[in-house]
Homo-oligomer: A and B are copies of this chain.
């Protein structure tokens, strides 16, 4: 059986990444999404095992000590990380899996999984990015400015990714990610079985 592919997906606030991923999951419900392990308290509306596994700090530090994470970070005193085992299981079973992660997490995963394909979702222009960040209408100028600077900091690391998908039109962005995944099936590392079959005369 051919292995599945790990897709690292990042995109700043204002890229529309969350909507893109939700729509992709509708088109391809067979895609797995990695579930992060985190140590912060559960917020209202969150469900254990849906987007996060809520674990203790002790358990997280044990996972760190045992090298059981593909990436992790510490944010406002809480740990966030991607457990390695479920991702590897998926790939070994021939399933593709998406890991939604920030630019630092993406860099850590790339180190450990050089075969992962990384996609950065971009706003089409600075103007659109600004408009999207202001769009909620409820935030102060200071908070918007902070969010814009954070988005620009992430975009400055887009060149580390394999692909850049511009989210101007939602449907086009979705189609483009689906195309990236279709073409990935022609990559040589996913066709070694065929090559070996032809050679085994």
> A179: which B residues are within 8 A, CB to CB?
179, 182-183, 186
- Say yes or no: is A65 at the interface (Cβ < 8 Å to chain B): no
In the complex, what distance in Å separates the CA atom of A159 from the CA atom of B195? 8
Complex contact B176–A161 (CB within 8 A): no
Contact of A180 among B156, B161, B163, B183 (CB under 8 A): B183
Complex contact A156–B125 (CB within 8 A): no
- Say yes or no: is A70 at the interface (Cβ < 8 Å to chain B): no
* A191 smallest CB distance to B (angstroms): 4
The residues in A between 136 and 195 inclusive whose CB is less than 8 angstroms from any CB of B are 152, 155-156, 158-166, 176, 179-180, 182-183, 186-189, 191-192, 194-195
Contact of A186 among B159, B180, B182, B187 (CB under 8 A): B180
* Chain copies in the assembled complex: 2
Complex contact B186–A155 (CB within 8 A): no
In the complex, what distance in Å separates the CA atom of A180 from the CA atom of B183? 6
- Say yes or no: is A129 at the interface (Cβ < 8 Å to chain B): yes
Chain B residue with the shortest CB-CB distance to A179: B183
- Say yes or no: is A126 at the interface (Cβ < 8 Å to chain B): yes
In the complex, what distance in Å separates the CA atom of A163 from the CA atom of B194? 13
With A126-B201, A199-B156, A201-B126: A186-B194 Cβ-Cβ less than 8 Å: no
Complex contact B198–A129 (CB within 8 A): yes
> A7: which B residues are within 8 A, CB to CB?
none
In the complex, what distance in Å separates the CA atom of A181 from the CA atom of B30? 26
Chain B residue with the shortest CB-CB distance to A201: B126
In the complex, what distance in Å separates the CA atom of A166 from the CA atom of B187? 11
Lowest 8 A-B CB distances belong to which pairs?
A164-B191, A183-B183, A163-B186, A158-B195, A126-B198, A179-B183, A164-B188, A126-B201
Pick 11 A–B contacts, CB within 8 A, sort by A: A122-B191, A122-B194, A126-B197, A126-B200, A126-B201, A163-B183, A164-B191, A165-B186, A166-B191, A176-B183, A179-B182
